[in-house]
Amino acid sequence: MSTGKRWGVLAVLALGVGTFFALGLGRYLSLEFIKSQQGQLEAWRAANPLVAALTFFGIYIGVTALSLPGATILTLAAGAIFGLGWGSLIASFAASIGATLAFLVSRLVLRDWVQARFGERLTAINEGVRKDGAFYLFTLRVVPLFPFFLINLAMGVTHIRVLTFYWVSQIGMLLGTLVYVNAGTQLARIDKLADVASPAVLVSLAMLGLFPLIAKKGMDAFRARKATRRWKKPARFDTNLVVIGGGSAGLVTAYIAAAVKAKVTLIERHQLGGDCLNTGCVPSKALIRTARLLSLVKRAPEFGVRAAHADFDFADAMERVQRVIQAIAPHDSAERYTSLGVDVVMGNALIVSPWEVEVTQANGDVRRLTTRSIVIATGARPFIPPIPGIEQVEVLTSENVWNLRQRPGRLVVLGGGPIGSELAQTFARLGSQVTQVEMAPRLLMREDVDASELVTARFRSEGIDVRVNHTAKRIEVVDGEKVLVAEHGQREVRIAFDALLVAVGRTANLKGFGLEELGVATGRTVEVNAYLQTNFPNIYAAGDVAGPYQFTHTAAHQAWYAAVNALFDPFKKFRADYRVIPWTTFVDPEVARVGLNELEAKEQNIACEVTVYHLDDLDRAIADGETQGFVKVLTVPGKDRILGATIVGEHAGDLLAEFVLAMKHGIGLNKILGTIHTYPTMAEANKYVAGNWKRAHAPQRLLAWVERFHAWRRR
Ligand SMILES: Cc1cc2nc3c(=O)[nH]c(=O)nc-3n(C[C@H](O)[C@H](O)[C@H](O)COP(=O)(O)OP(=O)(O)OC[C@H]3O[C@@H](n4cnc5c(N)ncnc54)[C@H](O)[C@@H]3O)c2cc1C
């Protein structure tokens, strides 16, 4: 709503409320007044029934819409003047319409502001209202503890639909209205409002209000029972927990279960360590290291070395990647987990009932385990888009690219996300002629424009042919020459290549291990609630297969919740906490982020201040010749509370840790500024961005006075 309109609504509101109090109209909304005028009011209603009903209806709506005190008295008056039937009808509709008008005023005037200011903290409330808003509203309406006008105003700032608010209010207030209208028919017997509803009536209303919530919980329990009804629950269980998948999520789940002395079986069909160790984070970072060294050799003159030459062989670099994997593998090995108390089984898992998992081992042996709970941690795999002609070429993905021992000459990287960008720059630095094709208008679309522009400029300066706004249409092979045909604007662009690396997203592994047969709800991922629980109460999911994030650290984070909830529900369970999630894209310069960026703040209409510090000012960055980049922090307007940070630059991923800690524990920019940072380090950039923020908030008036004080001292 525009500011002008908002002020208009506020002016009307102020006029209404001001008039009410200025003219002392409140005296007409007292029990004494209604009692003293009951005779005249009844006579007036008898003489002009329609006019009386409409006038009363209008007054009631006005009082409730303006959130004025007096709704209870008016409900009693409805009974006194119109009797139980008509009085209830009039009061019920007037109260609901008035409440909806007050709700709309709150929505128009307050909602944007409240959501912008507190949106982040309201996430759980917004989610609760989205899912069960009608139930909550009903309870609030029926339980007589919650003031009528406050409910209208509070609900206005949520996202509940107007129509839902109206009808739930009408039904929810009906019983209370009947009680008060009925009491109004006996007005002479009432000396004070407390006489209207006895404690027994109040308790009954409270019970009634809680009924739908209790009923809903009951329905959830019933649905859960229904889901498992087809299978016979074993009398005893072999194990407390079976974890399917030995990647980041599965390993951490098993580790936690063993740490709390549960009996846990971890099943892995391929390689322990999953994607991160074998085909993801570890190999990519190992190869990035070699590529970085080569890029520095190329930049030798910048560092005062007249010429440098790298005697480099691609196959050696790829072998090093395997050595790095082997060096880290013991952390994720069967030996280590067995020594921790985990029963590690190598084989293909199949869920055959909510409490039974079958494992087919490599030698053909089949083992069936009964378990109290299951955690699905089967991860994800690269998505290969159905581009016509793609079957004619061998497609490289993050899974098989590590098998290469011959460097591709002309490499097309399809995808401008984190994985595509990391691999595009790496292969370019290793000597491939890389064309990166992205259908979106820029690389790293989730990041702010300035971050992705900086990365794109660097890519281009390193010789990568970055093609944004290019949509892959088909692949042709003509006389052995492979060509990607992409659409750019209205025309077709042909890009010849020797190898094609596809990195356009990852698909959750949902098939082939019993989910469909069992009826576990899935969409793009396994559907889970806030506790990471599927529609089967004892089956949980974590990691890439559950989403919404696809990082090793989020997989490990979710694993804790999945393990604890799977082992301790129904005694205790925890909602997965996604408030502070960091990530880094390991391109050079690195792009690291936690919390909101400018793009999201705009999309979600969240007010924020943006403070930037550029690395070309930082001593260490200058000394290292790594001046590209910035630290950008979003804060609550006028406050130092951090909403998010984006860092682009050398070691951005490491620098981010300070902001992750700050956000997690409510540390503001003032405290970061007041913390000693070692000189000269890149980490000083965090302090300097806090300094920029502080300068922008310097108390100018106070400083003017201090200046006068110093001038006086010089006299
Ligand atoms: C190239 C690349 C680079 C990446 N870089 C980073 C990074 O720098 N930082 C970061 O945080 N993340 C990174 N990621 C993402 C990270 O690898 C994943 O988010 C993480 O591995 C997810 O862990 P997970 O346990 O959910 O799944 P996975 O690691 O995929 O593990 C799933 C396991 O389940 C097994 N499995 C599946 N089905 C069955 C079955 N029926 N029976 C038995 N076992 C089964 C699989 O064999 C697999 O081992 C990267 C990913 C890629 C591809």
Residue type, 671: K
CB-ligand 1 contact for 359 (6 Å cutoff):
no
Quick one: pLDDT at residue 572? 93
Cα–Cα dist 338/342, whole Å: 5
pLDDT digits (tens, 9 = 90+) for 341-388: 999 999 999 999 999 999 999 899 999 999 999 999 999 999 999 999
Q: How far apart are CA 195 and CA 192, in angstroms?
A: 6
The tokens for 526 are 């396994």
The residue to mutate among 248, 252, 554, having the most atoms of ligand 1 within 8 angstroms of its beta carbon, is 248
**d(C-alpha 215, C-alpha 488), whole Å:** 56
State the SS3 of 467-487: ECCCEEEEEEEECCEEEEEEE
- Dist. CA 142–CA 161, nearest whole Å: 19
Instruction: Give the pLDDT band of residue 193 (cuts 50, 70, 90).
Output: low
**Residue 449 to residue 615: CA distance in whole angstroms:** 17
* Sequence-separated (6 or more) residues with CB below 8 Å from residue 535: 223, 224, 227, 519, 520, 521, 527
Whole-number Å distance between alpha carbons of 314 and 404? 9
Give the amino acid at 10: L
Q: Which of 513, 510, 551, 512 is nearest to 528 (CA)?
A: 510
Alpha carbon distance 397, 383 (integer Å): 9
How many A from CA of 672 to the centre of ligand 1? 35
Query: Ligand 1 within 6 A of 395 CB?
Result: no
* Contacts (Cβ under 8 Å, ≥6 apart) of 383: 502, 504, 505, 506, 507
The pLDDT confidence band at residue 134, using thresholds 50, 70 and 90, is confident
| Mean pLDDT value across residues 646-658 | 98
Q: Which residues contact 139 (CB under 8 A, 6 or more apart)?
A: 172, 209, 210, 212, 213
Give the mutation target among 244, 276, 288, 532 for probing the ligand 1 site: most ligand atoms within 8 A of CB: 276
Q: 698 pLDDT exceeds 80?
A: yes
Mapped to the 3 state alphabet, what secondary structure does 154-196 carry? HHHCCCCCHHHHHHHHHHHHHHHHHHHHHHHCCHHHCCCHHHC
Instruction: Establish whether residue 552 lines the binding site of ligand 1, counting it when its CB lies within 6 angstroms of any ligand atom.
Output: yes
What is residue 111's DSSP assignment?
I
What's the pLDDT tens digit per position in 530-586? 999 999 999 999 999 999 999 999 999 999 999 999 999 989 999 999 999 999 999
CB 247 within 8 A of CB 275: yes
Query: Tokens 């109260």 map to which residue?
Result: 95
Does the structure show a pLDDT above 80 at 191?
no
Weakest-pLDDT range from 25-39, 194-208, 359-373, 433-447? 194-208
User: In this structure, are residues 137 and 100 in contact, taking their beta carbons and an 8 Å threshold?
Assistant: no
User: What whole-number distance in Å separates Cα of residue 529 and Cα of residue 662?
Assistant: 28
pLDDT greater than 80 at residue 20 = yes
**Position 683 confidence tier, pLDDT thresholds 50, 70, 90:** very high
- Measured from the CB, is residue 248 less than 6 Å from ligand 1? yes
pLDDT score at 131: 75
* φ, ψ (nearest 5 deg) of residue 455: -65, -45
Question: Do 446 and 505 meet the contact criterion of CB atoms below 8 Å apart?
Answer: no
Return the structure tokens found at 575. Answer: 């909602």
State whether the beta carbon of 513 lies less than 6 angstroms from ligand 1: yes
pLDDT at 219 over 80: no
Nearest CA to ligand 1 atom 35: 245
Which residue from 399, 413, 396 is spatially nearest to 484, judged by alpha carbons?
Answer: 413
Residue 566, ligand 1, Cβ within 6 A: no
Given a cut of 70, whether residue 529 has pLDDT beyond it is yes
pLDDT higher than 80, residue 207:
no
- The residue to mutate among 242, 281, 344, having the most atoms of ligand 1 within 8 angstroms of its beta carbon, is 281
Burial category of 314 from C-beta neighbours within 10 Å (exposed 0-12, middle 13-18, buried 19 and up): middle
What is the spatial order of strands in the sheet that 465-467 belongs to? Answer: 395-396, 499-502, 410-414, 433-437, 465-467
Query: Does residue 98 register a pLDDT over 90?
Result: yes
Ligand 1 atom 31: residue of nearest CA = 247
CA of 67 to the centre of ligand 1 (A): 55
Q: Decide if 157 contacts 133 (C-beta within 8 A).
A: no
Token representation of residue 180? 């008060």
- What's the CA-to-centroid distance between 544 and ligand 1, angstroms? 7
> What percent of the chain clears pLDDT 90, i.e. is strictly above it?
74
Using the predicted structure, report yes or no on whether residue 123 has a pLDDT greater than 90.
no
Cα gap 392→242, rounded to integer Å: 41
Q: 12-26, 252-266, 310-324: lowest mean pLDDT where?
A: 12-26
Neighbouring C-alpha atoms within 13 Å toward the C-beta of 96: 22
Position 121 scores a pLDDT of 66
The model's confidence at residue 238, banded by pLDDT at 50, 70 and 90, is very high
Is the CB of 245 inside a 6 Å radius of any atom of ligand 1?
yes
pLDDT tens for 140-188 read: 887 767 788 888 888 888 888 999 999 999 988 888 888 888 888 877 6
Q: Tens of pLDDT along 389-446?
A: 999 999 999 999 999 999 999 999 999 999 999 999 999 999 999 999 999 999 999 9
Calpha distance 93→64 (Å, rounded): 11
Q: What is the pLDDT of residue 37?
A: 87
Poorest-confidence range of 35-49, 260-274, 566-580?
35-49
45, pLDDT greater than 80: yes
What's the rounded mean pLDDT across residues 486-494? 96
- Mean pLDDT lowest for which of 63-77, 388-402, 435-449, 585-599? 63-77
Substitution candidate for ligand 1 out of 284, 337, 378 with most atoms within 8 A of CB: 378
Mean pLDDT across the stretch 670-695? 98
Q: Which residue minimizes the CA distance to atom 15 of ligand 1? A: 551
Of 213-217, 455-459, 537-541, 605-609, the one with minimum mean pLDDT is 213-217
